[in-house]
Amino acid sequence: MEPFVLRSARVTLSAPTTADIDRIAAACADPAVAEWTTVPAPYTRSDAEQFVTGFVPRGWADGTDHTWAVRPAGQVDGPVLGMMGVSCAPSVPGAERAGEIGYWTAPEARGQGLTTAAGRLVADWALDPDGLGLVRLQWLAFVGNWGSRRVAWKLGFRFEGTMRRHGSQRGVLRDDWVGSLLPGDPREPSEPWPAEAPAP
């Protein structure tokens, strides 16, 4: 599959390019990105270059990873505000498929609803029969990542629990939260926001 653009009134999603390497390197050097994702730490420009020139085109070509840079509305080549993607197994005729959504947000773009807007575009496409046609979209986050959980909650993901020592981060196993979104689920919160967290 060739990369393509997704658009809404809030954001534009397009594949990251070599012009984005320095921006991606700076965003992924943020301590919060390192704490809650599996990107290399410390994150270098070489890591960003390998991501843009290796991982991204390879994932689109084999259909296993569909990755977009989140950019300002109407700006296909605008500054990278975050990253959004869906990973899944290659398509097999007649077989049902599930996938997993993943994302990070640059420090200056947090708290503006941009990741939620991008996530809605990607989730709708992934679950649409004319898109990826997934029967289940899964969300995973290390326990304590309330920012990621808030986005998933707003998108309608149903929280399914905690998987102990499930997620691997740089050789260390961490507890994961897990949630899911099915094609017929409403794209809005399906349950109250957890009392343990600050109100969204």
* Domains of the chain by residue range: 6-89+96-181
Q: Which amino acid is at 46?
A: S
Tokens 């990607």 map to which residue? 122
Q: Is the pLDDT of residue 126 over 60?
A: yes
- pLDDT recorded at residue 156: 98
Among 39-43, 52-56, 109-113, 194-198, the range scoring the smallest mean pLDDT is 194-198
What does the mean pLDDT of the chain come to?
96
- Owner of token pair 């658009």: 7
pLDDT-derived band of residue 58, with 50, 70 and 90 as boundaries?
Answer: very high
Q: Residue 179: its pLDDT value, please?
A: 98
Residue 197 pLDDT greater than 70, yes or no: no
Q: Give 62-79 pLDDT, tens digit per residue.
A: 999 999 999 999 999 999
* Mean local confidence (pLDDT), 143-167: 97
Domain 6-89+96-181 sits in CATH 3.30.70.980 = no
8 pLDDT more than 80: yes
The residue type at 173 = L
Supply the pLDDT for residue 198.
55
Task: Work out the pLDDT band at 96, boundaries 50, 70, 90.
Answer: very high
The pTM of this model reads: 0.94
C-alpha closest to that of 152 among 36, 15, 44? 36
Which residue's structure tokens are 């979104």?
Answer: 181
Query: How confident is the model over 164-186, as a mean pLDDT?
Result: 97
